Amino acid sequence: MEGMTLMEINAGDTAWVLASAALVMLMTPGLAFFYGGMVRMKSVLNMMMMSFITIAVVTVMWVLVGYSLTFAGDTGHVIGDFSEVGLKGLMATDSVSGSTPTLAFVAFQLMFAIITPALISGAIADRAKFRGWIAFVVGWTLLVYFPVAHSVWFLQDGNGGWIGDKLKAVDFAGGTAVHLNAGAAALALAIVLGKRVGWKKDPMRPHSLPLVLLGAGLLWFGWFGFNAGSALSAGTTAAVTFVNTQAATATAVIGWLIVERIVHGKATTLGLASGAVAGLVAITPSCGAVSPIGALILGLAAGAICCFAVSLKYKLGFDDSLDVVGVHFVGGLFGSLAIGLLGTAAAPSAVNGLFYGGGFTQLGKQALANLVVGLYSFTVAFILGKVIDKTIGFRVTEDDEVTGVDQVEHAETAYDFLGASGLRGALSARPAPAETENGTTTEPAEKEGVKA
C-alpha cells in the first residue's frame, strides 16, 4: 500500500543530512588544496582544477542520469534504472528517502560521486591534458562509480545491490565504493600515462606544505559529514561514527609519525597530513562497525601501514604522483578488511569480526567485495585511459610538461613573485598586443599601471 513503507520526514535528520552534504562538498576543494600543495609550482593550478572541474561535471551528470542509475530501482543487482532521470518526480512532498526528503539524499550522495573521481587525479599530477581528464571523469563515473555505488548502497530488503544487500559486506561510508575504487583507478592511470619526466631523478618536492595542511584540515572537517552524515539520521549512529572518525584519525597521525621517525629520522608535516587522511580513509568503511577503542587501534595500524605503503611505488616503478594508491587504495582496503577483524555487534553495523568471535565469515565477505570492485575499477580505468590517450590525448608533450601544465593547459601561472618585488610590467607580464583586422598587431595604448 502506498505510504506503508514511507516514513515521516524528520526535521532533525533532514537538517543533519543537508548540513552533511555541504560538509562533504567542502572536501573536494579541501582535496584541491591537499593535492595542490604537494605538486611543483608549475602545476598547482592544473592540480586544483582537476578537483574543481569534477564538481561541475559530476553535478550535471548526477542530476541528468547519475542519481537514477545509482539509486532508482535495481537492474541485475549492479545498477539502477532510468526511472528518475532528471530527478523526475523527486520534488513532490511525498518523495521521502528514509526520514528525509529524497532530494536531501540526492544532494548528500552527489558529493560522494564528486569526490571519488577527484581523488584519482593525484595519480597523474603534472602531466595530464585537461580535456583528457574531463573525458575520464565522465567515462569512469558513468561506467564505474554509479554501478559500484549502487552495488554497495542500494538496499531493497535483500534484493538490492549485490555487495551491500546480498553479500552483506559492510561499507558504511565508502571504503570500498569510494577509496579502494578510486585507488584502483589511480593505479591504472599512473600506468597508462607513465612516469613524469625526471621521475626519481629530479627533485619533485611539494611546493607548499601549508597548503597541504590547509587541505588536510578541510578534509578532516568535511569528513564528519562523510562518515557521520552517512547515518542519514541525527541519532546514535551519527554520534558513534563521529567519535570513531575522530579517534581513528588521531591515532593514524601518531602511527604515521612514529614509523616515519623510526625509518626516516624525522616526523614531518607532510607525514602528519598524510597520516590524518590515511586514518580518515580507513575509518570510512568501518566507522559504524567498531567501538571507539577499536577505532583507536584501527587508526594506529592504518597510519603505520600507509606510511610503509607510499614507498611501494618506487620499488614497483609506477609514478602514482601523490600516493592515491598508498593512501586510498591501501587505507580503504585495510579499513574494510578491519571490519572482519575488529567489527563488534554492539556497534551500529552489527557484525562480529574475527576478534569478537565472528570467525572468518565477515572478513571473507569484505575481501570478496574489495577484490571484485578493485579489479573492475582498475580494468575499466585502464581501458578508458588508453582509449582517451589514443583519441583526444591524455598526456601533454614532454616539452609542455617541462614548461608546466599550468601555462600550457590553462594559460596561467599560480604565483607572481616578480610582481611582489615591484618589477611588475617590466619583467613579469604585459598586456598582450591587440590583434588588428589585417593580422598585424599594435601595442596597447597604455602599459599596465601607467597613466597617460
Partner 1 sequence: MKLITAVVKPHKLDDVRAALETFGVTGMTVTEASGYGRQKGHTEVYRGAEYEVDLVPKVRLEVVVEDGDSADVVDVIVKAAQTGKIGDGKVWVTPVDTIVRVRTGELDGDAL
Letters for 246-285 (x = contact with partner 1 by CB under 8 A, - = none) are: --------------x--xxxx-x-xx--x-----------
- Taking the least distance from each CB to partner 1, the nearer of 76 and 265 is 265
- At its nearest, how many Å lie between partner 1 and the CB of residue 69? 37
Single out the segment in contact with partner 1 by CB under 8 A; choices: 204-212, 289-297, 405-413, 425-433.
204-212
Instruction: Kindly determine how many residues on this chain lie close enough to bind partner 1 according to the rule CB under 8 A.
Output: 19
Single out the segment in contact with partner 1 by CB under 8 A; choices: 15-23, 75-83, 201-209, 434-442.
201-209
- Taking the least distance from each CB to partner 1, the nearer of 247 and 272 is 272
- Taking the least distance from each CB to partner 1, the nearer of 53 and 214 is 214
- At its nearest, how many Å lie between partner 1 and the CB of residue 308? 8
DSSP 355-413: GGT-TTHHHHHHHHHHHHHHHHHHHHHHHHHHHHHHTT-SB--HHHHHH-HHHHHHS--
Query: Interface with partner 1 includes 310 (CB under 8 A)?
Result: yes
- At its nearest, how many Å lie between partner 1 and the CB of residue 257? 12
Residue-wise burial string across 258-290, b where 16 or more C-beta atoms lie within 10 A, e elsewhere: bbbeeeeeebbebbbbbbbbbbbbbbbbbbbbb
Contacts of 284 (CB under 8 A, 6+ apart): 172, 173, 174, 175, 178, 179, 223, 226, 227, 332, 335
- Taking the least distance from each CB to partner 1, the nearer of 264 and 430 is 264
Letters for 205-244 (x = contact with partner 1 by CB under 8 A, - = none) are: xx--------------------------------------
Letters for 326-365 (x = contact with partner 1 by CB under 8 A, - = none) are: x---------------------------------------
The C-alpha atoms of residue 135 and residue 214 are separated, in whole angstroms, by 29
Separation of first and last alpha carbons in the chain: 79
CB 247 within 8 A of CB 295: yes
- At its nearest, how many Å lie between partner 1 and the CB of residue 28? 22
Nearest to 307 by CA among 370, 342, 257, 365: 257
Query: Interface with partner 1 includes 427 (CB under 8 A)?
Result: no
Query: Interface with partner 1 includes 197 (CB under 8 A)?
Result: no
Gyration radius of the chain over CA positions? 23
CB 215 within 8 A of CB 80: no
The C-alpha atoms of residue 380 and residue 148 are separated, in whole angstroms, by 12
Q: Can you say how many angstroms the Cα of residue 107 is from the centroid of all Cα atoms in its chain?
A: 17
- At its nearest, how many Å lie between partner 1 and the CB of residue 181? 22
Using CB under 8 A as the criterion, which residues of the chain lie in contact with partner 1 when the complex forms?
203-206, 260, 263-266, 268, 270-271, 274, 307, 310-311, 314, 323, 326
